[in-house]
Amino acid sequence: AQSVTQLDSQVPVFEEAPVELRCNYSSSVSVYLFWYVQYPNQGLQLLLKYLSGSTLVESINGFEAEFNKSQTSFHLRKPSVHISDTAEYFCAVSDRDLAGGYNKLIFGAGTRLAVHP
Amino acid sequence: EAQVTQNPRYLITVTGKKLTVTCSQNMNHEYMSWYRQDPGLGLRQIYYSMNVEVTDKGDVPEGYKVSRKEKRNFPLILESPSPNQTSLYFCASSRIAVGALNTEAFFGQGTRLTVV
């Protein structure tokens, strides 16, 4: 079974500074990778995903993530953060059930990004 | 507006008193699932459903039941809640299997359950 490790539980950063949230997963077989964001008192929202093709994927609000198969990583980056980016970020990887279907997402423990003025 | 609606948002109950958390989606999604979120553990899948009348255990199903009698509804039932089920619960739906190609999961706003 897959596992996901988010190396930092909390990342404090000043506004307009760059940030990287790290994510490693356990298997090098073909996977689908996701980043979800959870704003305070809300459910999770999809931020971006890697399915195939270009290893660099981007979101509409300036985040990007790079799939690195050799390092089994999918780190999330943003060159300049805003106060409104304060949230918890979850990395997730698809996993197969016993029947072979992609019926679950395995989530990391989450990284709390706190952007300070 | 496309959404997943959970009720209640907050619930405090006592050990052993049966409770149901409702989940409803208006996107005609076939796949629905329940997760619990605990500090330091992220989200863990409790149960999922591929379609009406089809449900399967996730990673942490003990102490929970679900049903899928209609496509839009997927209630989570705790027959005899215990304090270790105190958690934040999320319902999610997607067009097809949640980890499959080109699928986005839509999450409800969460239900914070406290069992005393």
Task: For chain A, give the percent of residues with pLDDT over 90.
Answer: 55
pLDDT digits (tens, 9 = 90+) for B6-40: 999 999 999 999 999 999 999 999 999 999 999 88
Running DSSP on this structure, what letter comes out for residue A69? T
Indicate the pLDDT class of residue B55, thresholds 50, 70 and 90.
very high
Q: Mean of the pLDDT values across residues A106-117?
A: 94
Q: Which amino acid is at B85?
A: Q
**Best B37, B93, B111, B112 residue to mutate vs chain A (most A CBs within 10 Å):** B37
φ, ψ of residue B12 to 5 degrees: the values are -115, 130
Inter-chain residue contact A94 with B100, CB threshold 8 Å: yes
Tokens standing for B73?
Answer: 């509804």
Query: Distance between CA A43 and CA A59 in Å, rounded?
Result: 18
Query: Distance between CA A17 and CA A5 in Å, rounded?
Result: 24
Q: What confidence score (pLDDT) does residue B101 get? A: 58
B54 touches chain A (CB under 8 A): no
φ, ψ of residue B58 to 5 degrees: the values are -95, -140
Cis? peptide before A40, omega within 30° of 0: no
Q: What confidence score (pLDDT) does residue A28 get? A: 58
pLDDT digits (tens, 9 = 90+) for B84-108: 999 999 999 988 776 665 678 899 9
Q: What confidence score (pLDDT) does residue B98 get? A: 65
Query: Distance between CA B95 and CA B4 in Å, rounded?
Result: 13
Would the pLDDT of A58 be above 90? no
Partner residue facing B102 (CB), from A51, A103, A105: A51
Instruction: Answer whether A19's CB lies under 8 Å from A35's CB.
Output: no
Q: What confidence score (pLDDT) does residue B81 get? A: 97
Partner residue facing B43 (CB), from A41, A102, A107: A107
Would the pLDDT of A78 be above 90? yes
Q: Please, which residues bridge with residue A45 across strands?
A: A37
Running DSSP on this structure, what letter comes out for residue B84? G
Q: What confidence score (pLDDT) does residue A103 get? A: 67
Q: What confidence score (pLDDT) does residue B17 get? A: 97
> Between β-strands A111-116 and A10-14, what pairing exists: parallel, antiparallel or unpaired?
parallel
Instruction: Answer whether B37's CB lies under 8 Å from B51's CB.
Output: no
**Best B38, B44, B89, B107 residue to mutate vs chain A (most A CBs within 10 Å):** B107
Running DSSP on this structure, what letter comes out for residue A47? E
